[in-house]
A and B are shown apart, each in its own frame.
Chain A
Amino acid sequence: GENVEQHPSTLSVQEGDSAVIKCTYSDSASNYFPWYKQELGKRPQLIIDIRSNVGEKKDQRIAVTLNKTAKHFSLHITETQPEDSAVYFCAARGGGTSYGKLTFGQGTILTVHP
């Protein structure tokens, strides 16, 4: 089955800096890659996603890039703010008859210091 590795496990930045979180996946047939943000005590929320036919997608301060050849994708947050502090999860949806199931990375705890 699909395997997703996420790095780093913790990331500490100063307000205004950029943050990058990277994920690799194993199933070359995977076709959908979402990112979730989970604030303390809350449910994970989808913040951005990308499909396998696109190399990059941007939404204001966040962007996701996908390299299908290398089987990795990354989340980029620019001009970080304290409210960006949260746990971030990447995920991948395998090909074939997956019924939409996602395999998640281990999570990255992002701390943005004012």
Chain B
Amino acid sequence: DVKVTQSSRYLVKRTGEKVFLECVQDMDHENMFWYRQDPGLGLRLIYFSYDVKMKEKGDIPEGYSVSREKKERFSLILESASTNQTSMYLCASMPNYGYTFGSGTRLTVV
């Protein structure tokens, strides 16, 4: 089974801090994705990557950046955290057609 691991389940950060969310997959998949999940809004795509050092903006990239230096690791960066970035963040890897999700990071910005 594919394993997608997000390093933190819960994070509390202060407004203005730079925040790193890490995601690692163990199956050499090329495509990886970052979504945020908010009640009533579903899952919205922030950024995705289809190869090392390759990245594309999703539907809501403002305030975020990403890094993919190695195939297995895809990091989401909040350059200057704001309270409206309080959310559940889900990373996904794509083994074939569907996604395998990580367990999520619930980020609270205070």
- Using a CB–CB distance below 8 Å, which chain A residues touch chain B? 1, 4, 6, 9, 32, 34, 42-46, 49, 51, 89, 91, 93, 99-107
Tell me if A89 and B42 are in contact (CB < 8 A).
yes
- Using a CB–CB distance below 8 Å, which chain B residues touch chain A? 31, 33, 35, 40-45, 48, 50, 56, 58-59, 90, 94, 97-104
Tell me if A9 and B40 are in contact (CB < 8 A).
yes
Distance in Å: Cβ of B58 to nearest Cβ of chain A: 7
Tell me if A101 and B33 are in contact (CB < 8 A).
yes
| Assembled-state Cα–Cα distance A43/B98 (Å) | 14
Distance in Å: Cβ of A105 to nearest Cβ of chain B: 6
Q: Please, which residue of chain A has its CB at the minimum distance from the CB of B103?
A: A43
Tell me if A1 and B59 are in contact (CB < 8 A).
yes
Tell me if B56 and A99 are in contact (CB < 8 A).
yes
Tell me if B104 and A43 are in contact (CB < 8 A).
yes
Q: Please, which residue of chain A has its CB at the minimum distance from the CB of B97?
A: A32
Query: Beyond A99-B31, A101-B58, is A46–B45 a contact (Cβ under 8 Å)?
Result: no
Known: A46-B98, A106-B40, A107-B42. 5 other contacts (CB 8 A): A4-B42, A9-B40, A32-B97, A44-B101, A99-B48
Query: Beyond A101-B33, A101-B45, A106-B42, is A44–B98 a contact (Cβ under 8 Å)?
Result: no
Most interface-central of A6, A44, A100, A103 (chain B CB within 10 A): A100
Q: Please, which residue of chain A has its CB at the minimum distance from the CB of B40?
A: A106
Distance in Å: Cβ of A96 to nearest Cβ of chain B: 13
| Assembled-state Cα–Cα distance A43/B97 (Å) | 18
Q: Determine the chain B residues whose CB is within 8 A of the CB of A45 once the complex forms.
A: 101
List 17 A-B pairs, Cβ < 8 Å: A6-B42, A34-B97, A43-B103, A43-B104, A44-B43, A44-B99, A45-B101, A49-B98, A89-B43, A100-B31, A100-B50, A100-B94, A101-B33, A102-B45, A102-B99, A106-B41, A107-B42
What 9 A-B pairs are tightest by C-beta distance, nearest first? A104-B43, A43-B101, A46-B98, A106-B42, A99-B50, A104-B42, A100-B31, A100-B94, A34-B98
